[in-house]
Amino acid sequence: MITVGEVAAADELHLQVAAGGEALDAEVTMVHVSELTDPHEWLRGGELLMTIGLLVEMTEQGCREYVRNCRAGGVAGLVLGLGPRYAACPEPLRAAAAEIGVPLLVVPVEVPFIAITKWVFEKRAAQQRHDLEEAMELNRRLTAVATSSAPLPALLETWAEASSAHCVVCDGVGRLIAASPGGSEQARTEAVELAVAASREPPGQSWVLRAGREIHTVGSGVALAFIVLDAQLNPVARHSSTVLVSLLALEVQRRHVAGQPERQRRGAVFAQLVRPGLKPARAQQLADSLGWRTTLVVAAVIAPAPHDADALLFRLQSSLTAGLVRSHGRLVEIAHPESDGLLATLTAIAPGTPIGLGAPVAVASLPVSLTQARSLVGASERLGRPVDAREGRTVELLIGLGEPRLLRGFADAVLAPIDQLEERERVELMRTLEEWLRVNGAWDPAAARLSVHRNTVRNRIDRIATLSGRRLDDGEDRMELWLALKARSALPRV
């Protein structure tokens, strides 16, 4: 970086600082000559703007407007050439530069503007050459440590020695793998949060810029990892950042390939565990080979969208390290040691995706849990939520699968004779019917629930049988009434 102060201090240029000495650390990115009184639209920021003041009105107001216009264009400083027009720096211009805080340099008549331009360009070229040499040396060091026994930490340590830009590597679901030393805990946390957010998005660009950080995705189609790098890089780090990202990506890919045999082995174990007729002793041997210490396992089945199947399979394999995950047709199947948090984990990884969860079973009975999970995927798709075989609400589940208008019509048809009664009697009979069915037609428990005599219950049930035309000693008739009550409860009258 070249500053206005360095230009002013160059002996061969003989420049003098007329004003704005407190802002001499401004970076000079370009040298430009202009005699316009409103040059800001032609500037890009960081220019050292040279002028002989030909068109500037040398009054307090005129100079103030000119310097403000230059500041709006982002100039690093102003250079006034002395000569036939001005033998010395005009006081209004000096005062305006001092007031607004823009460095103002004056150049004697014997120094041409081209000398300043040449000096700046030569310095920039030398600096760029130096930065490139340092970047090549850093690249050499990065390449050398990439072949070490622990390339990931070695790469990040080497990077931290050369750059303050924090680098974080996360896996395909956003979990921290490694980070360059020296970064703050807050910076690491924020980087991980960005990786988690990126893992939940559909596959897109391999590089994005968010919250002042570059997010590089490793892997095509399925994200194997995310590399989060601070975007504010000095020239040396900028030259070497692509090498760092490439070497980190190669190491992630190498780890993924190295893990393929183990994933294949676990897939073969899964296939054996769900094979019909597997003996309990053999099932336990297979469970022991997986490190399962629990006596119960549970199966889950997920139906992802076709475009998300591969990515979901990878996310599940990365997250459920204790479980088994495989693709089976259009479904993703999971076998996992019983865990209260499994369903919550699956919901977080595959939000809004149909999920069926079987009941916990002994390892040898895993096919039973898997069959349950497969059977519940359709119900989950229809209900818009995961369905667990342990819910114990089969009637509510079936009713939830029905079309509301048809269910309401069924309930109204069955209960219509009772609905026509006077309000008090209708409520009395409905409550009696529900409590009596709830205790499976037992008179005394129903009477106790209702706080009436058992004969009162009998009389009311006989009345219901007469009105509905159903024989309440018949299982099917009782089931119809029970379903009608449940449908009515789930779908209140509108």
Bin 14: left if φ > 0, else alpha if -120 < ψ < 50, else beta. Answer: left
pLDDT at 2 over 60: yes
Given this model, what pLDDT does residue 405 score? Answer: 62
Q: What are phi and psi of 347, to 5 degrees?
A: -65, -35
Q: Work out whether strand 387-388 and strand 355-357 pair parallel, antiparallel, or are unpaired.
A: parallel
Structural domain harbouring 97: 4-111
Residue 396, domain member (yes or no):
no
The CATH number linked to 35 is 3.40.1390.20
Mean pLDDT over 423-430 rounds to: 88
Residue 168, domain member (yes or no):
yes
Residue 131, domain member (yes or no):
no
Q: How many domains does the chain have?
A: 4
One domain, residues 425 and 481: yes
Residue 279, domain member (yes or no):
yes
One domain, residues 434 and 326: no
Pick the last residue of a domain from 86, 111, 136.
111
One domain, residues 99 and 164: no
pLDDT at 16 over 50: yes
Mean pLDDT over 241-254 rounds to: 93
Neighbours of 201 (CB within 10 A): 10
DSSP codes, 35-73: --SSGGGG--SSEEEEE--SS---SHHHHHHHHHHHHHT
pLDDT at 418 over 70: yes
Output the pTM of the full model: 0.63
- pLDDT-derived band at 494 (thresholds 50, 70, 90) equals very low
The CATH number linked to 465 is 1.10.10.2840
- pLDDT-derived band at 370 (thresholds 50, 70, 90) equals very high
Pick the last residue of a domain from 361, 391, 421.
391
The CATH number linked to 382 is 3.30.70
Say if CB 84 and CB 113 are below 8 A apart. Answer: no
- pLDDT-derived band at 393 (thresholds 50, 70, 90) equals low
One domain, residues 219 and 152: yes
One domain, residues 198 and 229: yes
Pick the last residue of a domain from 255, 283, 307.
255
pLDDT at 461 over 70: yes
Residue 8, domain member (yes or no):
yes
One domain, residues 189 and 284: no
Mean pLDDT over 51-71 rounds to: 93
Residues in the chain: 494
One domain, residues 174 and 281: no
Q: Which of 121-125, 230-234, 249-253, 338-342 shows the lowest per-residue confidence on average (mean pLDDT)?
A: 338-342
One domain, residues 283 and 386: yes
3-state secondary structure of 253: helix
Residue 399, domain member (yes or no):
no
Residue 302, domain member (yes or no):
yes
The CATH number linked to 208 is 3.30.450.30
Residue 298, domain member (yes or no):
yes
One domain, residues 284 and 365: yes
One domain, residues 305 and 372: yes
